[in-house]
Structure 1
Amino acid sequence: MSEIVERWMPSPFVFAILLTYIVFVAGLVNGSSPVDLLQYWYDGFWAFLAFSMQMVLILMTGFVIAYHPRVNSLLQRLARVPATGAQAAAFVGLISMSLAWIHWGFSLIMGAIFAREMGKAAHEEDIDVHYPLLAVGGYMGLGLTWHWGLSASAPLQLTDAGNIGEGTGFGFLESTVPAAETIFHPYAITLTILSIIFGTIVLYVLAPSGERAKGITEYVDEEELFDDDDAADSDVAEAATEEELSAETGKTPAERLNNSRVLGGLIALSGVVILALQFLQNGMGAFTLNAVNFGFLMAGLLIYQRPAYYRERFNDAAGAAAGIVLLFPFFAGIQGIMSGAGLATLLAEALLSVSTAATYPVVAWITGAIANLFVPSGGGEWLVVGPSVLQAAQDLGVPYGQATIAYAVGDAHTNLLNPFWALPLLAITGVKAREMFGYAIAMLLALIPFLAIVLWAVPY
């Protein structure tokens, strides 16, 4: 499978262009005119700019925290723990899936860095490890657990009163759906724990050994890989940064302001205080996508403190977000066609019409999985397909929380086929999409019977 994917899979950008043509043809078959479809496509490009910015902030705030020298040093030490290639792949996946529950952007960047550090450690200790599988392990948080966690788009959108009521797709909802009924419900937590265990085991089983295991130096130039070893050490890196910043601090009033721990620390603490007050006043109702972004933005500033230092790290994060900035409008255009031509609603209604109360979670998962192939944006996709999903749940007597969580895993699951969200990971690890996605698709297939069983069997 890996060989086939490596031969045939195009780049993520070309992948998006091909999907655009496929959806356009589907719109023609469904009865829309070419001119209308072009208009839907153009309108879709700009429909979710605010949401796009939220997604970029989630990624960049996670990136900045993950690249703090002391966090990076911890990953280097953890990379020395596994003794075999199978253990290494399983360990990277375990960390990635666990962190994704906390923050998908943090998991994606941390998983990528950890995969790279694990590949370096295996090379130095002569352990047979397949580097593309390590990359898949680093991507597993996006491919399985993120949409059940603290930065989950669909559940968090339902906590926002602005998305509920007259004039919205969710106008039939009488009130918001609190995170206690989705993210923090025992149903979602149980699914998360079981999925992390299963995903870790599959990564262990998938790991090749001997000559079939290709190490990091097959994909990343060895000179480039080990030239920055000293700089990668947290104590050295942090000491060098501190020395450089301290030298700048005493030069001019402007530089002293730029590197003031007081200015940075005070505003970060102010952010923490206001966020805490929001939760004290509103309970879990304060847990929204904006609150998650605000919290991680302030947490990053709190650990870096110096404003200039924090800004520099954001400059580094911009490179990781570049692919998403380019591709997001194209996938938004695809979403515009699917929404304007009625394809998304048609898909959801066709699948959900054959479900019963017992099978509904499985059907909702399949709906999310198929929709995500064409629109790999959990929040944007939910705005289009979510109303049909929850309307069907209401008709069948299925709790909104269960319906949302079941749908959410489908949205995450087919990230293992679509390379869109892997772009930052590819940039950090140095592998190409076609080099790792054979193993990602193997994982996707292994998850199908498991998810079908647990979604049907685990009670809400």
Structure 2
Amino acid sequence: MIQRLANTLSRWSERWIPDPFVIAVLLTFVTMAVVWLVQGVDPITAVGQWGGRLNGDELYPNERGFWSLLTFAMQMCLTLVTGHALASAPAVRRGIAGLVDRVRTPRGAIVATALVAMLTALLNWALGLVAGALMARAMGESARRRGIRVHYPLLGAAGYAGLLIWHGGLSGSAPLKVTTADQLASVLPKGMEVAPIPLSDTLGSGLNLAVNVGLLVLVPLLLVLMSPKPEDAKPAPELTRADDAGAADAARAHVLDRSRLLGVVVAALALGYVVMLVARTGLEQLDLNTVNLFFLGLGILLHGALIRYVEAVTDGARACAGVILQFPFYAGIMGMMALSGLVGEIAHAIGEHASATSFGPLTFLAAGLVNLFVPSGGGQFAIQGPIVIEAARELHVPLGKAVMAFCYGDQWTNMLQPFWALPLLGITQLRAGQLIGYSATLMLLVAPVFIVALLVF
């Protein structure tokens, strides 16, 4: 039954799911229609909110819409290209090959890929995203080479599974945002007094531990059950590699371009800073910039010569087109939803109709819905978080539980929203339609884990 459902959704998504950029454009017009119908925002005002600096007669001095995610877009491009370059380093390729070559069965390949993606995502979401993508790519290539009939799109979904668990891990933006008074003040409106919520009430709670253990057990099992018959499995295609294509150019390069000593010095600079920072702040404060710098330093070190690293980054940069093009459109959607008050309206509706028992599941569902339009955990919490916290206080729901209900909804619909899959699609060279059918099936099947946990704890 699970296999039949997954195959049906996969066939449907491959046929009907358009390019992720088309999805972003369609969601833009859907959001315009919704804010008009629900909030009474006329199309002209909605266009101003989409652009970000106009809201009716108001003119904002800073960007709140289309161009508000430029920094984040650059961070994601660096995540993609540094991860891609790291994957193409000869030492990494040999190391991953040694690991994946130990896997002898299609089921083992899927389980190993999912666990690597999920466990690393619990440490850091960006690390999990890149590690899952690299593992899926390497596992697919190894399986094809050895004649193991594993379905490559399903391996891609397994590599994406880290985004289903990340917000309950050490890089969870919402739990980290509520741990100190200063962090809370940056999210809550002026005059709203809330005591800091310790990590023991969120990430370290029995609720979160139960959910994470449940996902780590259930997700690999469900992915295995989705596997098509061996004769229907699509192997990984021949994937392009930067170091093969650039070998001749590297051989003709200037002596400084080929200098391993210069590469080691630059790598030591980057990695030394990362070590110093982590020693001072700990892993729980690991951010995207630090992860990117770690990938950059390690990639340069393993490539040796700087010219080889440049070739690898140049090859990986081709996959940044989707990120560069789509991030501004999602920023515009965020601008419309925030400035029109639509997110607040959704959260208020949940609070008005919820009881202390139903608050958790309803907040989970509301966060999942909003995440389809605002696919940024931190950005979404800045909009929705204050209302969730206020409603939880009115219903006497523990604030830690309310925050985690939001987190679970945010990560849940990542499986349906291709926004975060862009780096993985670039590394694995899969299409969104090949991935979404399986990840959407996974999303539907794990929903009871979140809902039951929120009802029990």
TM-score over 0.5 for the alignment? yes
Bigger shift: 23-32 or 187-196?
187-196
Cα distance, 1:211 vs. partner? Answer: 2.4
Match of residue 392 from structure 2: 393
Q: For the residues of structure 2 that align with 1:45 and 1:278, how far apart are their CA atoms?
A: 33
Q: For the residues of structure 1 that align with 2:44 and 2:90, how far apart are their CA atoms?
A: 53
Cα distance, 1:328 vs. partner? Answer: 1.2
For residue 46 of structure 2, the aligned residue among 21, 37, 46 is: 37
Match of residue 348 from structure 2: 349
The question of 1:294 aligning with 2:294 is answered: no
Q: For the residues of structure 1 that align with 2:34 and 2:414, how far apart are their CA atoms?
A: 22
Maintained 8 Å contact 2:278/2:286: no
Q: For the residues of structure 2 that align with 1:166 and 1:117, how far apart are their CA atoms?
A: 41
TM value normalised by structure 2: 0.82
Amino acid in the other structure paired with 1:350: A
Cα distance, 1:66 vs. partner? Answer: 5.2
The question of 1:183 aligning with 2:203 is answered: yes
Q: 1:122 to 1:383 in 2, by over 3 A?
A: same
Cα distance, 1:149 vs. partner? Answer: 1.8
Cα distance, 1:62 vs. partner? Answer: 5.2
Cα distance, 1:205 vs. partner? Answer: 0.6
Amino acid in the other structure paired with 2:171: S
Cα distance, 1:54 vs. partner? Answer: 5.0
Maintained 8 Å contact 1:9/1:434: yes
Structure 1 segments, 4+ long, off by >6 Å, are 254-258
Match of residue 121 from structure 1: 142
Gaps of 5+ in 1: none
Match of residue 220 from structure 2: 200
Match of residue 235 from structure 2: 215
Cα distance, 1:52 vs. partner? Answer: 4.4
Maintained 8 Å contact 1:357/1:397: yes
Residues 299-314 of structure 1: pairs in structure 2 closer than 5 A: 300-301=296-297, 304-305=300-301, 308=306, 312=310
Cα distance, 1:325 vs. partner? Answer: 2.6
Q: 1:376 to 1:445 in 2, by over 3 A?
A: same
Cα distance, 1:176 vs. partner? Answer: 4.4
Q: For the residues of structure 1 that align with 2:125 and 2:85, how far apart are their CA atoms?
A: 13
Q: 1:391 to 1:59 in 2, by over 3 A?
A: farther
For residue 119 of structure 2, the aligned residue among 66, 79, 98 is: 98
Amino acid in the other structure paired with 2:449: F
Cα distance, 1:295 vs. partner? Answer: 5.6
TM value normalised by structure 1: 0.82
Residues 218-237 of structure 1: pairs in structure 2 closer than 5 A: 220=237, 222=238
Q: 1:404 to 1:311 in 2, by over 3 A?
A: farther
Q: For the residues of structure 2 that align with 1:97 and 1:399, how far apart are their CA atoms?
A: 27
Maintained 8 Å contact 1:165/1:175: no
For residue 21 of structure 2, the aligned residue among 5, 8, 13 is: 13
Q: 1:455 to 1:170 in 2, by over 3 A?
A: farther
Maintained 8 Å contact 1:157/1:289: no
Q: 1:139 to 1:333 in 2, by over 3 A?
A: same
Match of residue 145 from structure 1: 165
Maintained 8 Å contact 1:92/1:115: yes
Match of residue 381 from structure 1: 380
Match of residue 156 from structure 1: 176
Residues 284-433 of structure 1: pairs in structure 2 closer than 5 A: 287-288=284-285, 290=287, 293-294=289-290, 297-298=293-294, 300-301=296-297, 304-305=300-301, 308=306, 312=310, 315=314, 317-433=316-432
Q: For the residues of structure 1 that align with 2:199 and 2:75, how far apart are their CA atoms?
A: 19
Q: 1:326 to 1:405 in 2, by over 3 A?
A: same
Q: 1:318 to 1:160 in 2, by over 3 A?
A: farther
Maintained 8 Å contact 2:214/2:449: no
Q: For the residues of structure 1 that align with 2:129 and 2:109, how far apart are their CA atoms?
A: 17
Q: For the residues of structure 1 that align with 2:307 and 2:193, how far apart are their CA atoms?
A: 45
Deviations 1:282-336 (A, max 9, x none): xx9xx4464x532652475267457947963655554444422321110111111
Q: For the residues of structure 1 that align with 2:242 and 2:88, how far apart are their CA atoms?
A: 15
Maintained 8 Å contact 2:86/2:298: no
CA RMSD of aligned residues (A): 3.4
Gaps of 5+ in 2: 1-8, 53-64
Maintained 8 Å contact 1:301/1:307: no
Bigger shift: 31-40 or 356-365?
356-365
Cα distance, 1:395 vs. partner? Answer: 2.0
Amino acid in the other structure paired with 2:18: P
Match of residue 272 from structure 1: 275
Residues 36-115 of structure 1: pairs in structure 2 closer than 5 A: 36-43=45-52, 44-56=65-77, 68-115=89-136
Q: For the residues of structure 1 that align with 2:90 and 2:172, how far apart are their CA atoms?
A: 27
Amino acid in the other structure paired with 1:215: P
Q: 1:278 to 1:101 in 2, by over 3 A?
A: closer
Maintained 8 Å contact 2:243/2:308: no
- 3-state DSSP class of the match of 1:259? helix
Amino acid in the other structure paired with 1:195: L
Q: For the residues of structure 2 that align with 1:118 and 1:77, how far apart are their CA atoms?
A: 10
Q: 1:167 to 1:455 in 2, by over 3 A?
A: closer
Cα distance, 1:160 vs. partner? Answer: 6.8
Q: 1:51 to 1:125 in 2, by over 3 A?
A: closer
Maintained 8 Å contact 1:58/1:104: no
Maintained 8 Å contact 1:156/1:289: no
Match of residue 132 from structure 1: 153
Amino acid in the other structure paired with 2:105: T
Cα distance, 1:167 vs. partner? Answer: 8.4
Q: For the residues of structure 2 that align with 1:135 and 1:19, how far apart are their CA atoms?
A: 24
Q: For the residues of structure 1 that align with 2:187 and 2:438, how far apart are their CA atoms?
A: 43
Cα distance, 1:230 vs. partner? Answer: 9.6
Q: For the residues of structure 2 that align with 1:162 and 1:69, how far apart are their CA atoms?
A: 45
- 3-state DSSP class of the match of 2:391? helix
